[in-house]
């Protein structure tokens, strides 16, 4: 990270201290700090640099050397001080810290423990004879706030341990991503503003009393008072045995390392897992594992000397909402997009973020000109979380919702949360055609964006079915369309006429379905006419659809009825979707016989494919899975039975290893389904 410049005068230093203290107070109170994590860390380091050069000017309010930046207090004394962690911001700084610890000890560290730094609120849970007696915040490290009233809503924090011991668990309480979304739904339904991000939600929820609703949180134990003779890895195992939730239950589980090289590798692995975790982390904690090493190293006034946090780039940043754009998708959905003052999040400059729908804007209470928290996890599209209401100046203005479709000017259907042009797909016919002819749908070469515009604007095509009525004379009449191009395009369209049913159905872009679901629907019904006639009960019987999604699909099919009728009349999509027939003499059985080698298997394909699969797109590999009798999925879960892991498989492979799922290489998988390749 880049540090802020050190203050150049005593006045600038005092201003920096005031800014840091106010930001820390807001952060530890309800998470509404006007500074992002990176900005706060940089500011504190700048303050430290000034104080190092001017030790005689140190202000008593300075956040340096204090737990929680000295911004919070409590009225219940801790049995043992509850300290913070010092931070490092690079692999080089981590190595220098480890070398300094070994110099202090006078011998190599006897092993390290590496675990995720959870982005929540630190708490202490006191047990007497195995029963939970009191729950405290960290406060200023010496005393905390009693939040026992919230304990029954904290999952992973047992009301009673498995043994009747006197103990104080220490750990982090947070909102998982799912809990955060639910919390904001409940909060706004009761007239409150949405939480800015999961950490503010956790802080606000733990401190709230007498609410008319309940919000669940999750606890992860990472330490304890009363088990002081155990090494850290052994301590975590002991806490899990006592019934406490620990990070060992997650893909980012704590790992004991013998060497610093192993430590650095595990830090990188946890950083790579960050986007796929069910909760937020803002770093990785590295600890000397040995209890003897910990005692010898000791602690300072703020932090232990035997542990450090290797901070990761912040995924939450504060910036300004400049405007809201309203874009119309290929199915007519009108989607708002936030225009932001550019801000760098996790190494990426973010200028736009999703706002989902008008109800989402209202729920979050956003105004143009607001300072807002923006969140980005891995490759996920950035999203605006909530405004910093306390930072408003009065110059902010309401967001104007469209009264007519911003693309065609027709009316808007506002009966659902996601607003839609009443013309539906007709509003974005070009986009619908371009999607339909894509490689993973009908794969019609020669029908790119320019040609699609010509066909739609020329009145030759209004939907995908119209492609199959095009004549040679119509195409030759188009600008820059010669005889060879025309014949090639007509040949590609004729090939698409005989595409498997699932590809034709996928080309329709039915909301609530995708490529995998299109294959399941096609295999289940067998013909376009059967799909056209399906009711909610019939669709709900398709694996993965269920009752609620069936309602949406039926509504979509009703809207698409004229297009479906034209496709049926033109005999498009008559090729059967089902298991492929293996090569003659293979000894395997094709369609009509026993299922393929993947029957009963739930398969996830991840990473870059090699060998016989190298030339296949991800969609084609997933189709191969289902031809061989398996079910293709995009995410690893307890239901997954097989993972095909190619090069740079990353977090999905790690999760599979954590769950004990069988993992094979692309080459081994190709051999397994060899009869279905081709």
Active-site residue (options: 66, 117, 631, 652): 117
| CA pair distance 528, 550, nearest whole angstrom | 17
User: Cα 435 from chain centroid?
Assistant: 25
User: Cα 144 from chain centroid?
Assistant: 32
Q: In whole angstroms, how far apart are CA 322 and each of 50, 325, 348, 399?
A: 35, 10, 19, 10
Tell me the HSE value of 439 on the side-chain side, using a 13 A CA sphere: 5
| CA pair distance 506, 521, nearest whole angstrom | 10
Token pair 């050397």 is found at 65
| CA pair distance 224, 246, nearest whole angstrom | 12
Cβ atoms of residues 498 and 492 within 8 Å: no
Using only C-alpha atoms, what is the Rg of the chain? 29
Q: In whole angstroms, how far apart are CA 302 and each of 9, 37, 141?
A: 27, 19, 8
| CA pair distance 120, 491, nearest whole angstrom | 59
Q: SS3 of 566, please?
A: helix
What pairs with residue 319 in β-bridges?
372
Pairing mode, strands 307-311 and 281-288 = antiparallel
Per DSSP, 95 falls in state H
Per DSSP, 602 falls in state E
Question: Reading across the β-sheet that carries 255-257, which strands appear in turn?
Answer: 86-88, 307-311, 281-288, 112-118, 255-257
Query: Among 65, 60, 72, 73, which residue's Cα sits nearest to residue 26?
Result: 72
Tell me the HSE value of 166 on the side-chain side, using a 13 A CA sphere: 1
Q: What angle (nearest 5°) sits at the alpha carbon of residue 538, between those of residues 533 and 541?
A: 150
| CA pair distance 578, 617, nearest whole angstrom | 19
- From the CB of residue 257, how many other CB atoms can be counted at a distance below 10 Å? 20
| CA pair distance 642, 664, nearest whole angstrom | 8
User: Cα 410 from chain centroid?
Assistant: 35
Q: Which residues of 543-572 are buried (b: 16+ CB within 10 A; e: fewer)?
A: eebeeebbebbbebbebbeebbebbbeeeb
| CA pair distance 625, 603, nearest whole angstrom | 7
| CA pair distance 642, 639, nearest whole angstrom | 9
Pairing mode, strands 642-645 and 602-606 = parallel
| CA pair distance 238, 248, nearest whole angstrom | 12
| CA pair distance 220, 636, nearest whole angstrom | 22
**Which burial class, exposed, middle or buried, applies to 480 when counting CB atoms under 10 A from its CB (0-12, 13-18, 19+)?**
exposed
Per DSSP, 193 falls in state P
- Directed axis angle between helix 177-189 and helix 198-207, to 10°? 60
287 flagged as catalytic: no
Assigned token pair, 213: 């609703």
Query: Among 379, 385, 372, 310, which residue's Cα sits nearest to residue 343?
Result: 372
What pairs with residue 169 in β-bridges?
125, 224
Pairing mode, strands 143-144 and 76-77 = antiparallel
User: Mind telling me the catalytic residues?
Assistant: 117
């Amino acid at each position: 990270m880049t540090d802020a410049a050190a203050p150049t005068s005593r006045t600038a230093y005092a201003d920096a201290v005031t800014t840091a203290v106010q930001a820390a107070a807001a952060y530890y109170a309800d998470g509404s700090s006007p500074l992002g994590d990176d900005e706060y860390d940089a500011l504190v380091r700048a303050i430290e640099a000034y104080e190092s050069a001017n030790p005689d000017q140190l202000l008593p309010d300075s956040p340096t050397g204090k737990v929680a930046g000295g911004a919070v207090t409590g009225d219940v004394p801790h049995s043992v001080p509850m300290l913070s962690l010092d931070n490092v911001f690079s692999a080089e700084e981590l190595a220098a810290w480890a070398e300094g610890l070994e110099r202090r000890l006078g011998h190599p560290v006897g092993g390290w423990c590496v675990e995720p730094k959870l982005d929540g609120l630190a708490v202490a849970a006191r047990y007497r004879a195995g029963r939970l007696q009191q729950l405290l915040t960290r406060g200023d490290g010496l005393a905390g706030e009693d939040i026992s009233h919230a304990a029954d809503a904290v999952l992973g924090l047992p009301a009673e341990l498995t043994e009747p011991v006197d103990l104080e668990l220490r750990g982090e309480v947070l909102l998982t991503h799912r809990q955060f979304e639910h919390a904001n739904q409940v909060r706004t339904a009761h007239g409150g503003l949405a939480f800015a991000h999961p950490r503010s939600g956790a802080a606000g929820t733990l401190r709230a009393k007498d609410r008319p609703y309940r919000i669940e949180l999750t606890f992860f134990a990472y330490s304890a008072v009363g088990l002081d003779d155990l090494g850290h890895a052994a301590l975590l195992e002991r806490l899990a045995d006592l019934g406490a939730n620990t990070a060992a239950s997650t893909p980012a589980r704590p790992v004991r390392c013998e060497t610093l090289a192993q430590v650095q590798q595990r830090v990188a692995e946890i950083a790579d897992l960050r986007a796929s975790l069910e909760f937020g982390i803002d770093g990785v904690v590295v600890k000397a594992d040995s209890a003897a090493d910990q005692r010898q190293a000791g602690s300072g006034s703020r932090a232990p000397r035997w542990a450090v946090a290797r901070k990761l780039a912040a995924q939450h940043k504060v910036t300004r909402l400049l405007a809201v754009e309203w874009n119309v998708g290929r199915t007519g959905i009108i989607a708002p997009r936030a225009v932001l003052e550019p801000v760098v999040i996790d190494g990426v400059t973010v200028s736009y973020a999703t706002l989902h729908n008008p109800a989402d804007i209202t729920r979050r209470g956003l105004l143009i000109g607001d300072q807002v928290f923006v969140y980005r996890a891995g490759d996920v599209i950035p999203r605006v979380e909530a405004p910093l209401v306390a930072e408003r100046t009065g110059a902010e203005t309401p967001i104007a919702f469209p009264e007519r479709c911003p693309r065609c000017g027709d009316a808007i259907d506002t009966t659902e949360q996601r607003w839609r042009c009443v013309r539906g797909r007709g509003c974005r016919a070009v986009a619908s055609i371009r999607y339909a002819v894509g490689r993973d749908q009908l794969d019609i070469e020669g029908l790119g964006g320019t040609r699609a515009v010509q066909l739609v604007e020329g009145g030759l095509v209004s939907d995908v079915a119209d492609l199959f009525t095009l004549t040679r004379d119509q195409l030759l009449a188009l600008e820059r369309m010669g005889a060879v191009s025309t014949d090639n395009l007509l040949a590609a369209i004729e090939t698409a006429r005989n595409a498997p049913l699932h590809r034709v159905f996928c080309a329709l872009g039915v909301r609530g379905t995708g490529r995998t679901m299109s294959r399941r629907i096609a295999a289940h019904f067998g013909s376009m006419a059967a799909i056209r006639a399906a009711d909610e009960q019939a669709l709900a019987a398709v694996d993965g659809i269920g009752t609620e999604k069936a309602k949406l699909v039926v509504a979509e099919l009703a809207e698409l009825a004229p297009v479906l009728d034209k496709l049926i009349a033109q005999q498009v999509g008559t090729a059967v979707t089902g298991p492929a027939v293996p090569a003659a003499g293979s000894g395997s059985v094709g369609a009509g016989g026993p299922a393929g080698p993947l029957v009963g298997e739930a398969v996830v394909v991840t990473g870059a494919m090699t060998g016989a699969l190298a030339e296949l797109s991800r969609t084609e590999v997933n189709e191969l899975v289902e031809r061989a009798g398996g079910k293709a999925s995009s995410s690893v879960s307890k239901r997954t039975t097989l993972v095909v892991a190619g090069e740079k498989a990353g977090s999905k492979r790690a999760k599979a290893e954590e769950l004990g799922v069988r993992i094979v290489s692309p080459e081994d998988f190709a051999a397994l389904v060899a009869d279905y390749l081709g």
